[in-house]
A and B are shown apart, each in its own frame.
Chain A
Amino acid sequence: MKILVCISKTPDTTAKIAFTDNNTKFSEAGVQFIINPYDEWYALVRALELKETQGATVHLITVGGADTEAVIRKALALGGDEAFRVNSDSQDSFYIASQIAEIAKQEQYDIIFTGKETIDYNGSSVGGMVAELLGLPFVSIASKLDVNGGTATLKREIEGGEEVVEVSLPLVLSAQKGMAEARIPNMRGIMAARTKPLKVVEPAAADSLTAIVSFELPPAKAGVKMIPADQVEELARLLHEEAKVI
């Protein structure tokens, strides 16, 4: 089995969000970057579990400049076998999906994992786009994956319940919580990652279909209105008369 895991570099979850250049660019000053949690904790770890239990080669791919190599090396330290970095500043989801699909066409993977979404641009788009560009089925927001021969069985939540689906390999899926438990790289993995292949490839010609015009921060909250614990009825009144939510 041959697996590709799509890796994104995102700001740490606790990063302070600020913008520069007249609110058109994210300010990276003082920001620590990590592997997008959905990509690392669920997609990559489930791919590694399949490698350990069923035998598989796990490739990684990211689209980004040289500054993404720290996160891709961490993914290699966790157990990925080799990695691709498409040497391009990330554009929009379609551009990124096009780059991933280009590599995937050459390598012929059985399973392509993405995370459910990235925690920076929250698009949930790349996996579905990659699937369409490759003509493969796409199972989104999956919380469980079992592979038996050429068939994958997946569980995913839907509004009002959950469903179990079956699909023949190859497929593309986006992973969410439940798929696997997060791991920490060990020293042996970190040392081994230094010598694992990280191929830098130039981007294929592809369009961007969207562009970010500007960013905004949410307006400041008016502040909390505290109600004494012995006046709970007052809270109910405020929710009814002031906030008008009950």
Chain B
Amino acid sequence: MSVIIFADQFQGKVKKSALEAVQYGAKIAQQLGIPAVAVAVGEIDGTELSALGQYGASKVLHVADGRLNEPEAGAVTKIVAEAVAKENASVIVFSHNFAGRSIAPQLSARLKAGFVAGAIGLPDYSAGFVVKKNVFSGKAFANVSITTDKKIVSVMPNSFSLSPGSGSASVEAFAAGLSDADFKIKTVKVETVSGEVPLTEAEIVVSGGRGLKGPEHWGIVEDLAHTLGAATACSRPVADSGWRPHHEHVGQTGFTVRPNLYIAIGISGAIQHLAGVNGSKTIVVINKDPEAPFFKAADYGIVGDAFEVVPKLTEAVKKYKGN
């Protein structure tokens, strides 16, 4: 028996969300007294793979096929299914990131294995195998029991902070018997957003709304984000107006984020926006309207003019960041 964890990569580096999944899967393995085995695909340096031992993996099965640098969901489903058979896995873990959302449901249907998407807690074994997840866009939680022998869980990014140890995993080449027919989806182009922290993996997010009055004023948001090492984000009206790109839109119809710190500047806090950010551990709201509903969801608030408050906050933060 074992726990299998899919550790996906981007440009040769294992994603932070995948490291969280490895750590989560390794904790389950520890609880069950069985090994944690990671599966990685694409061209990745061996040192990067053996470092998964720091997060609890004892072994990494590596399919070093360059066609999988952008993980093709159908092919990876086949690879993980074969790894499950090889290692006699009882639990399979993914990150609830873009790749996991594509592969995990396909694997669930292939193995007829129950799947809980977006776990925010480790399994409770007192009544079988029960996993907590967000429902109603973060407005509630559900405790979901997986009733099949094999169990699949995807872990919501940023739900578990990383605490690497000193272990090292053995790396084993894995031949999954892929054929051309397994590659039904052809990647034509990958465009990276260079120099920015990926929004869904960011531990700090600085977000702006209509209160900033126009895209020409985004410099104060970017300055604060840069000082904090944060990702920038925006509310829906801002993205719809073309002030900021759609990939920065957080909220019910945009991206869901769960950073340690979410700073909302000039965002009133519509319920649809809160649905995308209510998993944030600490929320700061800066708004000149004291009646802005976002203050009810915030941990810290300042009623004031963003154009005065934000630059001062950037300067104050610099003292703690040492820059």
Per-residue CB contact flags for chain B residues 26-53 toward chain A (1 = under 8 Å, else 0) read 0000000000000000000000000000
Interface size class for chain B?
35 or more
- A235 vs B313: C-alpha distance in the bound complex, in angstroms? 8
Within 8 A of A (CB), among B137-151: 137-148
Q: Chain A nearest CB: distance from B312 CB in Å? A: 4
Contact of B282 among A139, A168, A218, A243 (CB under 8 A): A243
Q: Which residue of B lies closest to A236 (CB)?
A: B316
Surface stretch bound by B, among A45-53, A70-78, A103-111, A114-122: A114-122
Instruction: Indicate the member of A14, A92, A127, A159 with the most B CB atoms within 10 Å.
Output: A159
Contact between A226 and B105, CB atoms less than 8 A apart: no
Q: Is the interface of A mostly helix, strand, loop or mixed?
A: mixed
- A139 vs B137: C-alpha distance in the bound complex, in angstroms? 23
Known A127-B105, A177-B246; judge A216-B305 contact (CB<8 A): no
- A159 vs B108: C-alpha distance in the bound complex, in angstroms? 23
A21 at the interface (CB under 8 A from B): no
Known A137-B74, A245-B260; judge A227-B320 contact (CB<8 A): no
Residues of A within 8 A of B64 (CB): none
Q: Chain A nearest CB: distance from B35 CB in Å? A: 25
- A92 vs B142: C-alpha distance in the bound complex, in angstroms? 13
Per-residue CB contact flags for chain A residues 204-246 toward chain B (1 = under 8 Å, else 0) read 0001111111111110011011111100110111111001011
Q: Chain A nearest CB: distance from B206 CB in Å? A: 11
Contact between B300 and A225, CB atoms less than 8 A apart: yes
A202 at the interface (CB under 8 A from B): no
Known A139-B185, A246-B261; judge A227-B300 contact (CB<8 A): yes
Contact between A124 and B301, CB atoms less than 8 A apart: no
Contact between B253 and A124, CB atoms less than 8 A apart: no
Residues of A within 8 A of B102 (CB): 128, 138-141
Q: Chain B nearest CB: distance from A12 CB in Å? A: 10
B1 at the interface (CB under 8 A from A): no
Known A212-B143, A224-B299; judge A128-B316 contact (CB<8 A): no
Contact between A224 and B301, CB atoms less than 8 A apart: yes
Contact of A215 among B141, B198, B298 (CB under 8 A): B141
Q: Chain A nearest CB: distance from B69 CB in Å? A: 11
Known A128-B104, A161-B193; judge A232-B140 contact (CB<8 A): no
Contact between B117 and A17, CB atoms less than 8 A apart: no
- A126 vs B117: C-alpha distance in the bound complex, in angstroms? 11
Q: Which residue of A lies closest to B294 (CB)?
A: A224
Within 8 A of A (CB), among B96-110: 96-99, 101-110
Q: Chain B nearest CB: distance from A117 CB in Å? A: 8
Instruction: Indicate the member of A177, A178, A207 with the most B CB atoms within 10 Å.
Output: A177
Contact between B114 and A140, CB atoms less than 8 A apart: no
Q: Chain A nearest CB: distance from B137 CB in Å? A: 5
Contact between A163 and B189, CB atoms less than 8 A apart: yes
Contact of B253 among A41, A133, A224, A233 (CB under 8 A): A41
Contact of B135 among A122, A128, A238 (CB under 8 A): A122
- A239 vs B321: C-alpha distance in the bound complex, in angstroms? 12
- A210 vs B108: C-alpha distance in the bound complex, in angstroms? 11
Apart from A213-B127, A215-B141, A226-B300: 20 A-B pairs, beta carbons within 8 A: A11-B136, A13-B275, A92-B114, A119-B137, A132-B105, A157-B98, A157-B247, A162-B193, A167-B186, A208-B147, A209-B112, A209-B113, A209-B148, A210-B144, A212-B143, A235-B313, A235-B316, A239-B284, A239-B300, A243-B299
15 contacts between A and B (CB under 8 A): A123-B117, A124-B117, A132-B105, A132-B108, A138-B102, A163-B191, A164-B190, A211-B145, A216-B143, A218-B139, A224-B300, A226-B303, A229-B308, A245-B282, A246-B320
Q: Report the 3 A-B pairs with minimum CB-CB distance, sorted nearest first.
A: A229-B304, A128-B105, A209-B114
